[in-house]
Amino acid sequence: MILRPATGGDVADVLALEREAFGVDAWSETAVREELTGPRRTAVVARAADGRLCGYAVTSVAGDVVDLQRVAVAPAHRRQGLARRLLREALPGGPTMLEVGAGNAAARALYAAEGFVEIAVRRRYYRDGSDAVVMRRDARP
Ligand SMILES: CC(C)(COP(=O)(O)OP(=O)(O)OC[C@H]1O[C@@H](n2cnc3c(N)ncnc32)[C@H](O)[C@@H]1OP(=O)(O)O)[C@@H](O)C(=O)NCCC(=O)NCCS
């Protein structure tokens, strides 16, 4: 598995995995391109030896806090520590925030395991009316 910074050449594969992982909440192609290559973003992709996209993570900077925008791993590669590796690669050691779907048990467990704590709930944050949990980490454990 190779982890490296994302480029414009990753847009099509990230878009496909984005749609698989997030359905109606998936970013558009334009949004994926902006998130992978835009300013104040850090995007990391993981590719298998055969070139297949296995996962990606995107962060953005807002002042002195980094926001985790996305982390996704292809279903066949889950529970092998890849999301953990992507987060460690994409996130700096300082203060970090994120929002996660209240019903997304896998992601909430991942973030808790990586040292994030729940600080707030945003009611009806998502398009389907579900809540978001806001999590924060002051520094990498
Ligand atoms: C959430 C997601 C990124 C996790 O990816 P992953 O590569 O399977 O995660 P890892 O293997 O690195 O897991 C690290 C830890 O997170 C927790 N975890 C991950 N998936 C879990 C699950 N399904 N159930 C419970 N705990 C889970 C565990 O503590 C795990 O450590 P362990 O395997 O030693 O028990 C993946 O399930 C995914 O892509 N989901 C769809 C997209 C999404 O919801 N992204 C998050 C919102 S942006």
pLDDT score of 122: 97
Please tell me the distance from the alpha carbon of residue 26 to that of residue 83, in angstroms, as a whole number. 18
Pocket of ligand 1 from Cβ distances under 6 Å: 21, 70-73, 78-84, 100, 104-107, 109-110, 113
Check pLDDT > 90 for residue 133: yes
What pLDDT digit, counting tens, does each position of 71-100 carry? 999 999 999 999 999 999 999 889 999 999
Angle at which helix 29-37 crosses helix 11-22, to 10 degrees, equals: 120
Catalytic residue among 111, 118, 125, 126: 111
pLDDT score of 128: 85
Please tell me the distance from the alpha carbon of residue 139 to that of residue 136, in angstroms, as a whole number. 9
Mean of the per-residue pLDDT values of the chain: 96
The domains of the chain are located at 2-137
Question: 2-137, what's its fold?
Answer: Aminopeptidase (3.40.630)
pLDDT score of 139: 84
